[in-house]
Amino acid sequence: MKRMHHVVITALIVLSSTSFAQSNMQSHGMAEMGHGNMAHDQQQATNEYTNGQVKKVNLETNQITIRHEVIKSLDMPPMTMVYIAKNKSITQGVKPGDKIKFTATKNNGKLYITNLINEGSE
């Protein structure tokens, strides 16, 4: 009987602490939290152009490999990355070695080129 009494008391303590934790979280304003700022699957865009150099162009997949400077709006350090051109006209006339200025977006984990100014090769 004493053992059963301990089991019931332990169960009540566990249930009440779980209930308290849930109500405590609701009172911390999680509903008002600005989830729109979460960048992992939200689109990020910028009108600020970034300098880069084309390393490779794949017209079939509409992808451009670019070595670029810092992209502040995407919090990206200088690196070489593969980007998807938002439309096929972006890849027209672009070749490896070309110096470019471009704008990029990140949407659902993929990087896209939205605008590209070709400044020619060295």
Regarding pTM above 0.85, the answer is: no
Q: What is the pLDDT of residues 56-94, one digit of tens each?
A: 999 999 999 999 999 998 999 999 999 999 999 999 999
Same domain, 6 and 65: no
Same domain, 29 and 54: no
Q: What is the mean pLDDT of residues 5-34?
A: 54
CATH number at residue 86: 2.40.50.320
Domains held by the chain: number:
2
CA distance 43 to 36: 10
- Tell me whether residue 68 is exposed, middle or buried, using C-beta atoms within 10 angstroms of its C-beta: 0 to 12, 13 to 18, 19 or more: buried
What does the block give as tokens for 18?
A: 């779980």
Share of the chain above pLDDT 70, in %: 61
- Give the per-residue pLDDT at 30: 46
- Give the per-residue pLDDT at 15: 57
Which of 101, 40, 116 lies closest to 75 in space, CA to CA?
Answer: 40
pLDDT band at 112 (very low <50, low <70, confident <90, very high): very high
Residue 26 lies in a domain: yes
What one-letter code names the amino acid at 30? M
CA distance 89 to 103: 15
Same domain, 97 and 70: yes
Provide the greatest CA pair distance for the chain. 88
CA distance 6 to 22: 25
Same domain, 58 and 85: yes
CA distance 95 to 57: 6
Domain enclosing residue 84, as ranges: 50-121
Whether the pLDDT of residue 43 is over 80: the answer is no
Give the phi and the psi of residue 57 in degrees, each rounded to 5: -130, 130
